[in-house]
């Protein structure tokens, strides 16, 4: 597949996932399969979405590991995977509210795990964390669940510490750093 085609597919995938994330409780609870087809009729797409096309979209998302279909009491429901949550993590970060606390991530991931360390670092950057020191990052939004999710997804959970504090001896510096990111802070 050519690079432009891959980029278009990835962008479309993120658009679909983002559209579905706008639905209340979708991230936590998923959807029943029939409801999902009805919801997709509202998806802003340049072509008319037929049942066949919607089925193809979800088959593609399932095959690529973004959604899982689970059966419960004879009902099928569609649930987002961790991979899907990480794919749209910057969209999740945009929707999160600023808090009056500092959420700090510290990690010391071995060099032999460099690729996973880089993936983890990119993820926390997409969440809006700012670097204080080499492996010490801070934000003013509560992303503990997503930091944990990323750490487990990339297999670096043993090397990551996440903590919350109301105050530090460098609060002024952190506030200025975060103010540039969140002007409303």
Q: Which residues line the annotated binding site for Mg(2+)?
A: 108
Residue set of the binding site: 108
Are 67 and 58 contacting, i.e. CB atoms less than 8 angstroms apart?
yes
Strands (E), the chain: 31-32, 67-72, 75-80, 102-107, 130-133, 136-139, 160-165
For strand 102-107 and strand 75-80, is the pairing parallel, antiparallel, or unpaired?
Answer: unpaired
Q: H/E/C letters for each residue in 74-124? A: CEEEEEECHHHHHHCHHHHHHHCCCCCCEEEEEECCCHHHHHHHHHHHHHH
> Does residue 178 sit in helix, strand or coil?
helix
């Amino acid at each position: 597949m050519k690079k432009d085609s891959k980029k278009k597919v990835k962008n479309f995938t993120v658009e679909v996932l983002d559209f579905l994330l706008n639905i209340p409780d979708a991230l936590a609870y998923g959807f029943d399969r029939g409801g999902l087809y009805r919801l997709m009729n509202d998806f802003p797409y340049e072509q008319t979405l037929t049942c066949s096309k919607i089925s193809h979209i979800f088959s593609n998302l399932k095959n690529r590991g973004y959604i899982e279909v689970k059966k419960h009491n004879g009902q099928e429901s569609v649930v987002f995977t961790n991979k899907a949550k990480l794919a749209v993590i910057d969209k999740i970060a945009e929707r999160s509210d600023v808090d009056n606390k500092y959420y700090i991530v510290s990690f010391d991931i071995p060099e032999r795990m460099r690729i996973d360390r880089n993936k983890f670092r990119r993820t926390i950057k997409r969440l809006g964390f700012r670097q204080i020191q080499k492996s010490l990052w801070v934000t003013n939004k509560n992303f503990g669940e997503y930091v944990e999710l990323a750490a487990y997804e990339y297999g670096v959970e043993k090397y990551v510490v996440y903590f919350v504090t109301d105050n530090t001896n460098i609060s002024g510096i952190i506030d200025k750093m975060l103010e540039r990111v969140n002007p409303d802070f």
